[in-house]
């Protein structure tokens, strides 16, 4: 029995309020996920054991399986969890301005756009700005890249996990938008935001830019908007009715 095991049946009942218990469980999950990611980056997935992950996180192997079904799932958890939190911001109320808490009347909290595409764009940019300022998130991204380079089978687990998050996104869409056209706009917005973010990541890894990720993605959004707003685009792609003739 591990002395720090939060879920050992023989451990005394936790008198803390449920909110504190949930926070403790969330920390344990994150500790296990980060331990798994570190070991996968250092030793490779096949060289990583559940016992080693649990030991690095300071819990028993039995506790590991209270949180994850496999070491693969634990390795990709942190990235997927960040994406899940991004998804949740799309359906929350307006976030407080970074200069204050949103309680002070002098702090202006902008309302989120009613347009699903713009709402997703703004949520993605906020998410990336937070990530740029988060040293742990940047370190996790580097570790995930190293783990994927060591064992490409992780791509399958990552894809399956992100597919599950995508299903949650679809369910949230149905709740928020009654109109199918609005849901389609949200789907398009998400695809564009993810695609531009991937492009920015590739540019950064190739050394083509040192611009912060959020600024680079905002730049790409601007280029995309200009392309569709340009008269040249309309001329190059006439409507199905074809050009008019005099």
pLDDT one-digit tens code per residue, 135-178: 888 788 888 888 988 988 888 888 888 888 888 888 888 888 88
| C-alpha to C-alpha distances, 59 to 31, 48, 170, nearest whole angstrom | 10, 16, 35
Instruction: Report the domain count for the chain.
Output: 1
94 belongs to a structural domain? yes
Predicted confidence at residue 93, as pLDDT, reads 52
The structure tokens 């331990």 sit at: 35
Give the single-character DSSP code of 15: -
Which residues of the chain, if any, have pLDDT below 50? 1-11, 94-109, 233-234, 237, 239-246
CA contacts within 13 A on the Cβ side of 60: 13
Predicted confidence at residue 232, as pLDDT, reads 54
127 belongs to a structural domain? yes
CB 196, CB 114: distance < 8 Å: no
57 belongs to a structural domain? no
2 belongs to a structural domain? no
43 belongs to a structural domain? no
130 belongs to a structural domain? yes
Domain range spanning residue 154? 72-228
Residues 6+ apart with CB under 8 A from 21: 14
> Tokens in use for 87?
């998804």
244 belongs to a structural domain? no
44 belongs to a structural domain? no
d(C-alpha 45, C-alpha 75), whole Å: 9
């Amino acid at each position: 029995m591990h002395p720090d095991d939060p879920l050992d049946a023989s451990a005394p009942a936790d008198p803390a309020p449920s909110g504190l218990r949930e926070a403790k469980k969330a920390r344990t999950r994150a500790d296990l996920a980060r331990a798994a990611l570190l070991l996968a980056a250092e030793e490779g997935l096949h060289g990583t054991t559940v016992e080693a992950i649990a030991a690095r996180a300071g819990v028993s192997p039995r506790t590991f399986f209270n949180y994850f079904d496999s070491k693969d799932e634990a390795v990709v958890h942190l990235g997927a969890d960040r994406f899940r939190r991004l998804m949740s911001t799309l359906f929350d109320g307006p976030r407080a301005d970074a200069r204050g808490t949103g309680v002070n009347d002098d702090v202006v909290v902008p309302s989120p756009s009613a347009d699903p595409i713009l709402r997703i764009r703004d949520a993605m940019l906020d998410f990336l700005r937070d990530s740029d300022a988060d040293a742990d998130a940047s370190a996790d991204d580097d570790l995930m890249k190293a783990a994927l380079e060591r064992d490409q089978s992780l791509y399958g687990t990552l894809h399956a996990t992100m597919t599950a998050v995508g299903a949650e996104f679809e369910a949230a869409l149905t709740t928020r938008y009654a109109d199918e056209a609005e849901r389609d706009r949200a789907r398009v917005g998400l695809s564009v935001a993810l695609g531009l973010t991937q492009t920015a990541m590739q540019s950064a890894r190739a050394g083509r830019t040192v611009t912060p990720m959020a600024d680079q993605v905002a730049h790409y959004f601007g280029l995309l908007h200009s392309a569709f707003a340009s008269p040249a685009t309309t001329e190059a792609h006439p409507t199905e009715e074809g050009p008019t003739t005099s």
